[in-house]
Chains A and B, each alone.
Chain A
Amino acid sequence: MNSSEVLVVDKLVKYFPVKGGFWRRAHGQVRAVDGVSFTVQPCQVFGLVGESGSGKSTIGRLLVGLYRPTSGTITYRGKMQMVFQNPGSSLNPRRTVGKTLELPLRLHHKGLTRKELRQRVAELLTQVELNPEYANKLPRSLSGGQKQRVAIARALASDPKFIVLDEPTSALDVSVQAKIIKLILELKDQLQLSYLLISHDLSLMRNVADVTAVMYLGKIVEIAPTAELFANPAHPYTQVLLASIPVVSVEEEALKPTKRLVEGEIPSPLQIPQGCSFHTRCPEAMEICTRVAPELLTINPDHQVACHLHGKRGES
C-alpha cells in the first residue's frame, strides 16, 4: 500500500455458489465480482456505476467485511462503514434513533457514561442536520430522507475514514436526494472522509465522483477521472450508458455519443459469455472479442479501458 492511498483493492473475486435440488449441492457459481482492482485516495469520491446485477453492492459488502472474498485482497487504513440503499430496512424498527446510534458509540468508545453517550448522540444528530430530539423517535415516524440521515449518523459514530455509500439516494424523492448528497459532500470535507459511491445514476456520478469506474458483469471495463470519462468515453459500453442519460438542452444533445446497444438482455452472471463478456451486446464486436477477454489498458494517464478496439492500438 502506497503511503497516500486509503484503500487498495487488488484482483478481488467473489463467486457465490448456486445451490439447488434435493441435496442442496452447488450447481454452479455466480461470478458476482471477477477480478477487480482499484485504489482510492484520501478525501476522494470513488464512483462505481453499472447496471443492476453487475456486482457493485457485492464489492461494497466485501469492503466492509460482510462477505469474504473468494480471492484477492483489500487493504485500507482506519475504519470502514457503510450506508445502505434502503433507508426503510437499514434501521431496526424496534429501536429508537438514540439506541441505534448508541451501539457504535459503545463499541468504539468503551467506557462512555450515559450522559456522554446521550451528548454524543445529540452531536451526531446535529451533524446530519437533525433535531437532537429525534433520539427518542422510532424509525416508523421518520421520513425516508430523515432515516437516511440517521443511517449516515450511525456510520459516522465509529469515526470511520472510509464509507461505502450503496445507492444512498436511489430510494428517495428527487428533492430529498439533492439535500442528502449535499450533506454527504459537506461531511466529507469536514471529516476528511473518502467514499465508495455506488450508483446506477450517471448524472449523480458526473456531479459527485472524482473518479468513476464502469462495471459490467463483475468486471471494471473502464476507469478514469470523472470529467475525462464523460468527455472521452472509450469503451462501447460506457458510450452506450452515456447515451442513455436524459439531456436537458439541444446543445447537450448534440454533444452526446449516439451509440445504441445491440438487441438483447444482460447475460446472467451464472453464464458469463466467453471472451469479452460484453460482446453479445456490443455494437462494435469483432471476431477476437468472442475468444479473448481484453485486459485493462492505459490509454491516457489515469484512463484505463478493457476493450480490443483500444488493445490493437496498444499493440501497434
Chain B
Amino acid sequence: MKFADFRRKLAQYWYRFSQNKASIAGLIITVTIVLVTILAPYVTPYPEHAGVFVDFRNTFKPPSSANWFGTDQVGRDIFTRSIFGYRFSLIMAGTVLGIAVPLGVVLGLVSGYFGGWIESLIMRLTDIVLALPPLAMAIAVSAVLGSDLGNTMIALAMIWWTWYARLVHGMVVSLRNEEYVEAAQIMGASKLHIMFREILPNCAPAILVKTTLDAAFVIELSAGLSFLGLGVRPPEPALGTMVAEGARYLPANWWMTVFPALAILVLIFGLNWLADGLRDVLDVDL
C-alpha cells in the first residue's frame, strides 16, 4: 500500500473513531494510564512508598498538595501506591489475556476448521469450563495451589480461553465455506495458511474488541480477588487490597478507600469506551 493511501485510510478510521467522544476519552485514559504505569518509578512523587515503608509522622493525612490522595495508616502516599497498583492490574490483564487469547483463538480456529470429533471435544470442554462461575473457579484454584499471583493468573487464563474459543469457533464455522477459502483449497494452500492467513484476519477485529473489553473485566475481577485477599499480598500495592485495607478506616479516613476505588473505575471505564470506539471503527458486532 502506498503511503498516501495508508494515510487516507488512517484518516478515515480516525474520523469514525472520533465521532464518539467517549471513545477518544477511552483512548486517552488507557494510553495515559499505561504510560504512567510503565514510568511509575520516575513519575510518582514517592516511589519508595510502593514497598515496605513507614513514616509515622505522616499517617492518615487527608488529601493535600503534598499527598494528592492522602496517606495511609503507615504514612505512605496513596497516589504513588495507586499508580503502582495499576502495575498489578495491567500485569494481571496482560498475562491472563496473553495466555487465554492465543490459546482460545487457536483452539477455536482448529475446532471450527477441522470439525468432526476435534470440534466436539474442544466445544464440550468449553461448555464444561463455562459452566463454572469464574470467581468461584479462581478462588478454588487459589485455595488448592496457594494464593500467589502466578496461580491466580493461571486460574483465570484457564477459564478465559473458552470465550475466545467459542467466539472464534462461531466465526470460523460461517467463514470456512466462503468461496475464498475454497479457492485457496483448490490452489493447494496448506491448512495452516487457510486458518491463519485467510480466516483469522477476518476474525481479528472481533477478537481485538473483545480483548479490550475483557482487559477491563479481568482488572475488575482481579481487584475483586485482591479485595478478598487472594493474589497479591502487602506490601506490594494492588488497588483491590488498598480498598480492602482502607475500608477498615472508614468513614473518617475515606480517601484511603475512595481514591484506589476511583483509580480502578477510571481504567475500567477507559477500556470500555476504547472498546466501543474500536467496535465502531472495525464494524464489529459482538
Residues of A near any B CB (own CB < 8 A) = 61, 64-66, 80-82, 84, 86, 89-96, 100, 103-104, 107-108, 136, 151, 154, 158
Contact = CB atoms under 8 A, between A and B. Distances in A.
A94 B183 contact: no
A107 B186 contact: no
Contacts of B45: none
Given A66-B186, A103-B189, A158-B187, A90 B180 contact: yes
A96 B2 CA distance: 12
Residue among B178, B180, B182 with most chain A CB within 10 A: B180
Contacts of B188: 107-108
A94 B202 contact: yes
Contacts of B189: 103, 107
A151 B184 CA distance: 11
Interface string B180-204: 1011111111000100011001101
Contact of A107 (B5, B180, B187, B201): B187
B285 interface: no
A84 B182 contact: yes
A136 B202 contact: no
Contact of A154 (B1, B5, B183, B204): B183
B283 to A, nearest CB: 11
Q: Which 7 A-B pairs have the closest CB atoms?
A: A94-B201, A90-B179, A92-B180, A84-B179, A104-B187, A89-B179, A64-B186
Contacts of A96: 1
Contacts of A86: 179
B185 A136 contact: no
A147 to B, nearest CB: 11
Nearest to A99: B197
A90 B2 CA distance: 25
Nearest to A94: B201
Nearest to A98: B1
Interface in B185-237: 185-189, 193, 197-198, 201-202, 204
Contacts of B180: 89-92, 100
Interface residues of B, number: 20
A136 B183 contact: no
A253 B159 CA distance: 71
Contacts of B186: 64-66, 80-82
A90 B202 contact: no
B185 A66 contact: yes
Interface in B243-259: none
Contacts of B1: 96, 136
Contacts of B2: 136
Contacts of B5: 136
A93 B185 contact: no
A103 B196 CA distance: 14
A93 B201 CA distance: 9
Given A92-B202, A94-B202, A136-B5, A66 B182 contact: yes
Interface in B145-201: 178-180, 182-189, 193, 197-198, 201
A295 B81 CA distance: 88
A254 B178 CA distance: 45
Given A96-B1, A103-B187, A103-B189, 7 more contacts: A81-B186, A82-B183, A90-B179, A95-B197, A107-B187, A107-B188, A154-B187
B171 to A, nearest CB: 13
Contacts of B182: 61, 66, 82, 84
A89 to B, nearest CB: 5
Nearest to B180: A92
A103 B181 CA distance: 12
A218 B107 CA distance: 38
A84 B183 CA distance: 8
A89 B178 contact: yes
A156 to B, nearest CB: 12
Nearest to A66: B182
Contacts of B204: 94
